[in-house]
Amino acid sequence: MRIKNILLLSIFLFVVFLTAKVALGEEGKNSIDDLQSEIEKLQKKIDDAQGKSKSLSNEIAVMDDKISQTEYRISITNNKISQKIEEINELTGDIEDLEKLIIKMSASITRQSQILSSRLRKSYMDGIKGNYGEPGMKSILTLFDKKLMSTGVRQEESLRALELEDNRLIDWMEDNRARYEAQKKTLAEKKQEEVIVREQLENERATLLAQKSILDDQQSQKQALLKKTQNDEAKYQKLLSDAQRELNSIINAAGAIIGQDGEEVDKGDVIGREGNTGYSFGSHLHFGVYRYSSLSEINGWNWYYSNYVDPAKKLESKNFRWDTGCSSSGNKTVGSGDWNWPMSSPTVTQGYGKTCWSDIYYGGNVHPGFDMDSGHGSPVYAVEDGTAYYCRNCLNDGGNGVFIFHDDNYMTIYWHLQ
């Protein structure tokens, strides 16, 4: 009876535990839903703001909203991590409790079986010996002694009642043994579930690190913009204007040199020197890689943001300093191809793709190349053999650059040269 009560109490506590667990899970879900709702509201604000004319205050407001979005996403991820840790702790507790309970029940079943077996053997021997202590005598003497017969009947009934009670106990214990065999299966499933949840936890932690990196970049981008513009609207508008004029200069230069005779260059030849022509934001080289085979393919407005290639896929692996203003500066190894780099030891000032400046200056388009600085007047080299076409103030706007066409339909561009 005591064992049965313990089992019932354990089941009751387990049900209470599950109820509390569900309640906590719902609370966490509601919190995540609320945060997600805030992210969606901010996205609507961002979309509305981006549909308006460009202004510094508007740009800063968009940056602030994006920073808030990232902070909300970090809160969601932290919430998920807390839930996963809580889930793991609960699973660990469940596993430990089940293991202890299974051990106790197994020991109890074994102990009760041993007690019953011992009692049955004793009853059997008592029945054989009888009151006179000699085997076989009870069955003979009770035929002549009513009193002894009556006593024997009562003993027999008591023995049967005890045997029935023992059998009921065994049935109950065996039934519980079967139930706890099922619990062993549940135990194995919980252990597997724990492994899965731990993997999910590690994924969420990786997501958190990525989100924190995004947040750092966004905050750096805002500070860099404020520093560059000195929080002055006129300076911001000039930056936008210069960025558009720079883009127009590069795009139109391709059409201006059509009909020019190309010049064969070898890999490593000096083709120019770093400058700040063509509406450059300071002295640097803009280097881009494209899939084009001739100048006729890049005559028009669409070529600059079409068929571009990540330069890192063609340039050889090198370790250079990166100082983009978008994140912490430091050395970085980049490159998986076999082309030379266009400068010997540059600092990369803007990377390829979506950068912290692309939304501001390029209307949301990617930055299709690398910007790098090795010092004003530093030599610029051909990254591979090819046919070079030079723009030397070909638009009368002071812009200088080189287009080189290589084998396998690749083109490289070098802009802002002296």
Give the highest mean pLDDT range of 7-21, 171-185, 193-207.
193-207
pLDDT confidence of residue 144: 44
pLDDT confidence of residue 216: 86
Please give the mean pLDDT across all residues of the chain: 82
Residue 329 has pLDDT above 50, yes or no: yes
pLDDT confidence of residue 233: 92
Q: What is the mean pLDDT of residues 171-188?
A: 78
**pLDDT, tens digit (0-9, with 9 covering 90-100), for 263-314:** 999 999 999 999 998 877 789 999 999 999 988 888 777 899 999 999 999 9
pLDDT confidence of residue 76: 93
Residue 123, token pair as written in the block: 């009853």
Q: Which residue has the higher pLDDT, 88 or 103?
A: 88
Residue 255 has pLDDT above 80, yes or no: yes
pLDDT confidence of residue 28: 57
pTM over 0.75: no
pLDDT confidence of residue 165: 72
Cα–Cα–Cα angle for 112, 113, 119, rounded to 5 degrees:
90
Give the highest mean pLDDT range of 193-202, 323-332, 400-409.
400-409
Alpha-carbon distance of 291 to 406, in angstroms, equals: 10
Alpha-carbon distance of 382 to 313, in angstroms, equals: 16
Identify any residues that bridge with 365 across adjacent strands, giving them in sequence order. Answer: none
41-50, 129-138, 186-195, 338-347: segment of lowest average pLDDT: 129-138
The amino acid present at 384, given as its one-letter code, is: E
pLDDT confidence of residue 370: 96
Residue 5 has pLDDT above 80, yes or no: no
pLDDT confidence of residue 116: 67
Residue 21 has pLDDT above 60, yes or no: no
Q: Which residue has the higher pLDDT, 382 or 29?
A: 382
When pLDDT is cut at 50, 70 and 90, the band that residue 123 belongs to is low
Alpha-carbon distance of 389 to 12, in angstroms, equals: 84
pLDDT confidence of residue 3: 47
Residue 93 has pLDDT above 90, yes or no: no
Q: Which residue has the higher pLDDT, 224 or 417?
A: 417
Residue 24 has pLDDT above 50, yes or no: no
17-21, 114-118, 119-123, 382-386: segment of lowest average pLDDT: 17-21
**pLDDT, tens digit (0-9, with 9 covering 90-100), for 27-67:** 556 688 999 999 999 999 988 887 777 888 888 998 899 99
173-187, 229-243, 323-337, 364-378: segment of lowest average pLDDT: 173-187
